[in-house]
Chain A
């Protein structure tokens, strides 16, 4: 048994299956969305979040009881859950919606996560102490889910984290976060929500034994209605189009020529 009477921590890492970062995005011919028939993988910021949860456990070995990942997505989202389990998470939840359903918006995702967190506390007796998730997903770049979730739960939040120091016994966290022109230090009590930025860590590669173990780790499948959630978007996408092609510029040989051109175009010295 653990020597102290303090309850061990549970970490939840929400992850999203997105179009692979290396794929060149193309608007579909109907102008209703992008072509999704391309390679997908785990949102890179979420990969950093999974890595951070695992590193926290490596640092605070006896203090962290579980790392659970959750993905809200179509059937194939199960692939990114397995990737996270192969990296070292313990178990997963897949809130599945059909391939044909529209992509849910951040608010619906945040509400789903809140429902899961409440369910973990009530039904599983495993209250979540820390949520670590990507600062944004690289598909819609909304960058809202973490903040909305913290708001809905009434928890503290540290967003765009580049360093996380967990004080497991004091149940608090010191977080360095990226802000315009520098960084700031935040200290907050658990439970809290942390969103990850690029500099936080470099995710590991899964070892073969861990890839094999991941196949046997439990993944619970839920539907949005199991959680009493409606994922229907509140916004209607009217049209998606490619950005206009940029016209090629002209090269100038000298500063004088540049100044002359600027004057020609109507610019004046201040």
Chain B
């Protein structure tokens, strides 16, 4: 099996479908035609650019350039985590907790996979590093965003209960124990569900891509399995780090609950 190259014409044909969708939206007065077209144009531009950037990266295998790309990916993911918080930490912590836990989990798991599992030579070969890191960042990002959001929102609502436990002489970790556990659980549920239904409902995106590009299905399945395990580990580690740092930051050195460190609900 070999890969069938897509010509610009093939893509133009597919884009006609999007135009048709926009036209239908206009006819049915759904009012989303503008947004459909803008989103389609954005994805075309962004993916073309990423394709070009990766082409340059793959041709050079230069560590500084790859590091720069990884940094850009991390900072965008960090921003996204911050944006998804109803009540986020004020100051640098709002950005820092999410980014640092993503950095710790995604980068270490990617490194582990590259050196010990896949055994790429050199370990930073971009054809492996960039897609792996992207998958991990994308998934840990959702897990961490959900877990952190859950932690801060529930702590905000349970202020009376947390302080009652502090007044009863419990230390801060005991006082926030329930909320912390719930936050961690909520962050892990998406990946656990994804593993549980993998292959039964739909083929995961990466496996689909490999099959379309001509890989034997068993090879694609093995890679997908590897990725899923990595994502599960990365999401778990990342959510734990974020929830730990976040809950620590909710209390000060005298073990007072410091909800004033959270910024109020601004968005949504």
The answer on A and B forming one complex is no
Q: Please give the residue numbers on chain A whose beta carbons come within 8 Å of chain B beta carbons, in ascending order.
A: none
